[in-house]
Amino acid sequence: MNVVVLCGGVGAARFLRGLMHVVPAKDLTAVVNTGDDLELHGLTICPDLDTITYTVADAIDPGRGWGLENETWTSLQALERFEAVRPADSTAATTWFGLGDKDLATHLYRTHRLTEGATLTTVTAEIAKAWEVPFRLLPMSDDPIRTHVETVDYGTISFQEYFVRHRHNIAVRSLKFAGATTACVSPDVLQAITHADRIIIAPSNPFVSIGPLRALPDLERALQERRENTVAISPLVGGKALKGPADRLLSELGYEVTQKSIATIYNPIASSLLIDTIDADQAPAIAATGMTPIVTNTIMSDLLTTKSLAQTALQT
Sites of contact with a second copy (CB under 8 A): 39-44, 72, 74-76, 78-79, 81-82, 84-87, 90-93, 101-106, 108-109, 111-116, 118, 126-127, 129-131
Cα–Cα distance measured from residue 185 to residue 141, given in angstroms and rounded to the nearest whole number: 5
Distance CA 10, CA 272 (A): 22
DSSP 207-236: TTTSHHHHTSHHHHHHHHHTGGGEEEE-SE
Nearer to a second copy, 79 or 178 (CB): 79
CB of 78 to a second copy, least distance (A): 3
Rounded distance, CA 67 to CA 101, Å?
10
Note whether 259 and 282 are within 8 A (CB): yes
d(CA 47, CA 233) in angstroms, rounded, equals 21
CB of residue 235 to a second copy, shortest distance in Å: 32
Minimal distance in Å, beta carbon 83 to a second copy? 9
Per the CB < 8 A criterion, the answer to whether 224 and 268 are in contact is yes
Quote the least distance from Cβ 128 to a second copy, whole Å: 9
**275: how many CB neighbours lie within 10 A of its CB?**
26
User: Could you tell me the smallest distance in angstroms from the CB atom of residue 69 to a second copy?
Assistant: 13
Q: How far apart are CA 48 and CA 46, in angstroms?
A: 6
CB of 47 to a second copy, least distance (A): 17
**Whose Cβ is closer to a second copy: residue 93's or residue 190's?**
93
Q: For residue 174, how many other CB atoms are within 10 A of its CB?
A: 12
In the complex with a second copy, the residue whose CB is nearer, 111 or 305, is 111
- Rounded Cα distance, 204 and 107, in Å: 24
Q: Is the dihedral of CA 87, 89, 90, 91 positive or negative?
A: positive
- Report, in Å, the least distance between residue 181 CB and a second copy: 25
- Least Å from the CB of residue 124 to a second copy: 11
Task: Tell me how far apart the alpha carbons of residues 86 and 201 are, in angstroms, rounded to a whole number.
Answer: 42
Give the separation between CA 133 and CA 143, rounded to whole angstroms: 23
Largest CA distance in the chain: 60
Nearer to a second copy, 30 or 233 (CB): 30
Residues in the chain: 316
